[in-house]
């Protein structure tokens, strides 16, 4: 399972939420991201080690069975879409995907373990990097152009809102691990510069493919996810990882400010929820949580548990835990983060609200 930095969650994820006005006037989403917004792509990658295909993933979503989301319920992208009346886009690797489905529901390209850099997360064996996700999106634009014609297709994609939400894996599952070349090739400053150089190229490609209204979500306090705490000698947040997240956020914001005036009809915005997530972790009771330093789904004292499994023990009340597993936030935390981003971006409804998950979160019978 993908050792993904949950708090990056926060920022969801390059949660590439692309809000589009389809030819029938209905809004859809195109999502680019990592495990914080993956809704099933990795479950269809035969060789990947980053999957959410075992209980108790998905326990508080729909029928309660694993669905590819790396949490107990909804992702931040799900919640933002629901709040603005957008349909939940199926995973790109869903076999039911075709042009009609895309026009009706959009596509989710997010992949657990994916990063801005191609080399990130290689020990997962298979994952879709941002470059790969953009390549798949390019194929989508070509398919829609064949179906609608160039003029209608251009209008379809240029009316979209794109969100890019990756970056945490580039640190947690690359730079901060000595097994990766990047960890000894760069220092903290030059690695962030390398990420920005790569991200700039990716954003330019997206603009060329039609992206005009684009949002990049920043990172959260990566050093405070349960995995990072348990790997420290004190059980406290790891300061270096948090400082890297702040450096990434500052650089990404500056990049968007620099790019926007240079590109035709571009509206590039940055979403930063670092402060509110940091406050939730430091003052959980203020937000209705009782635990912000350990996972709800774990193997008890066996830490870190690399994934949630049927042998895991669940916390007594899943709504009171900030983190679902060692890396990812819970449905309740995702809801708080989504609301913060909705407020910062001024999202408003664009259609009829999507139905809530069929299964509501309830206290677990186990403790």
Among 1.10.1840.10, 3.10.310.10, 3.40.50.1110, 3.30.365.10, name the CATH number for the domain at 29-345: 3.40.50.1110
Instruction: Say if residue 29's pLDDT is above 90.
Output: no
- Spatial CA neighbour of 114 closest among 89, 85, 95, 93: 93
3-state class (DSSP) for residue 15:
strand
Instruction: Say if residue 16's pLDDT is above 70.
Output: no
Cα 281 to Cα 237: distance, rounded to the nearest angstrom? 10
Burial state string for 131-169 with b = 16 or more CB within 10 A and e = fewer than 16: bebbebbeebbeebbebbeeeebeebbbbbbbbbbbbbb
pLDDT digits (tens, 9 = 90+) for 199-209: 999 999 999 99
Instruction: Say if residue 197's pLDDT is above 80.
Output: yes
Instruction: Say if residue 68's pLDDT is above 70.
Output: yes
Q: Is 35 a catalytic residue?
A: yes
With a CB cutoff of 8 Å and minimum separation 6, the contacts of 295 are 226, 305, 308, 321, 323, 324, 325, 326
DSSP 182-242: HHHH--HHHHHHHHHHHHHHHHHHHHHTT--EEEEE----GGGSHHHHHHSSSSS--HHHH
Catalytic position from the list 207, 312, 328, 332: 328
What local confidence, expressed as pLDDT, does residue 349 receive? 58
CB of 7 closer than 8 Å to CB of 228: no
Q: What is the mean pLDDT of the chain?
A: 88
- Could you count the other beta carbons within 10 Å of the beta carbon of residue 346? 7
- Spatial CA neighbour of 195 closest among 218, 178, 214, 215: 218
> What band does 322 get if pLDDT is binned at 50, 70 and 90?
very high
Cα 345 to Cα 273: distance, rounded to the nearest angstrom? 11
CB of 244 closer than 8 Å to CB of 172: no
Q: Please, what's the largest Cα pairwise distance for the chain? A: 60
Cα 219 to Cα 248: distance, rounded to the nearest angstrom? 7
Catalytic position from the list 8, 35, 37, 111: 35
Cα 42 to Cα 2: distance, rounded to the nearest angstrom? 10
Catalytic position from the list 325, 330, 331, 332: 325
Instruction: Say if residue 131's pLDDT is above 90.
Output: yes
Q: Is 328 a catalytic residue?
A: yes
pTM for the structure as a whole: 0.89
pLDDT digits (tens, 9 = 90+) for 232-270: 989 999 999 999 999 999 999 999 999 999 999 999 999
DSSP 29-91: EEEEESTTT-SSTGGG-TT-S----STTTTTTSTTSS--S-SSSS--HHHHHHHHTTPPPPPB
Q: Is 188 a catalytic residue?
A: no
Whole-angstrom CA distances from 183 to 43, 187, 231, 334 are: 29, 8, 18, 30
> What band does 24 get if pLDDT is binned at 50, 70 and 90?
low
165 or 19, higher pLDDT = 165
What local confidence, expressed as pLDDT, does residue 360 receive? 43
Instruction: Say if residue 136's pLDDT is above 60.
Output: yes
CB of 65 closer than 8 Å to CB of 71: no
- Could you count the other beta carbons within 10 Å of the beta carbon of residue 273? 27
Sequence spans of domains, the chain: 29-345
The pLDDT of 321-339, averaged and rounded, is 96
Percentages of the chain per state (helix, strand, coil), in multiples of 5: 40, 10, 45
Of the listed ranges 155-164, 226-235, 307-316, 347-356, the least confidently predicted one is 347-356
In this structure, what are the phi and psi dihedrals at residue 214, rounded to the nearest 5 degrees?
-125, 135
Instruction: Say if residue 62's pLDDT is above 60.
Output: yes
* Bridge pairing between strands 27-33 and 20-21: antiparallel
User: Given phi > 0 = left and psi -120 to 50 = alpha, else beta, which region is 18?
Assistant: beta
Question: H-helix or E-strand containing 257?
Answer: helix 239-259
């Amino acid at each position: 399972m993908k050792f993904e930095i949950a708090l990056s969650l926060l920022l969801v994820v390059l949660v590439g939420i692309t809000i589009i006005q389809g030819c029938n006037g209905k809004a859809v989403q195109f999502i680019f991201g990592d495990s914080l917004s993956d809704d099933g792509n990795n479950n269809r990658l035969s060789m990947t080690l980053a999957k959410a295909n075992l209980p108790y993933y998905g326990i508080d979503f729909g029928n309660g069975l694993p669905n590819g989301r790396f949490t107990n319920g909804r992702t931040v992208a799900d919640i933002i879409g629901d709040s603005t009346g957008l349909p939940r886009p199926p995973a790109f690797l869903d076999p039911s995907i075709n042009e009609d489905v895309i026009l009706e529901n959009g596509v989710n390209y997010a992949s657990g373990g994916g990063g801005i850099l191609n080399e990130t997360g290689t020990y997962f064996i298979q994952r879709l990097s941002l470059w790969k996700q953009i390549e798949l999106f390019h194929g989508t634009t070509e398919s829609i152009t064949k179906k609608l014609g160039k003029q209608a297709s251009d209008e379809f994609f240029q009316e979209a809102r794109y969100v890019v939400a990756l970056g945490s894996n580039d640190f947690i599952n690359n730079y901060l691990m000595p097994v990766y070349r990047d960890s000894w090739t760069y220092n903290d400053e030059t690695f962030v510069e390398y990420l920005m150089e790569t991200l700039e190229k990716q954003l330019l490609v997206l603009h060329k493919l039609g992206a005009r209204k684009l949002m990049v979500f920043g990172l959260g306090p990566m050093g405070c996810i349960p995995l990072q705490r348990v790997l420290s000698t004190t059980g406290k947040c790891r300061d270096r990882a948090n400082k890297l997240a702040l450096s990434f956020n500052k650089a990404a914001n500056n990049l968007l400010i620099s790019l926007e005036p240079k590109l035709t009809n571009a509206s590039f915005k940055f979403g930063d929820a670092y402060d509110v997530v940091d406050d939730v972790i430091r003052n959980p009771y203020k937000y209705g949580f009782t635990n912000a330093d350990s996972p709800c789904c774990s193997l008890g004292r066996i830490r870190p548990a690399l994934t949630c499994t049927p042998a895991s023990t669940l916390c007594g009340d899943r709504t009171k835990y900030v983190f679902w597993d060692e890396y990812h936030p819970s449905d309740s935390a995702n809801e708080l983060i989504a609301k913060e981003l909705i407020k910062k971006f001024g999202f408003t409804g664009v259609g009829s609200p999507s139905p809530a998950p069929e299964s509501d979160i309830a206290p677990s019978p186990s403790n």
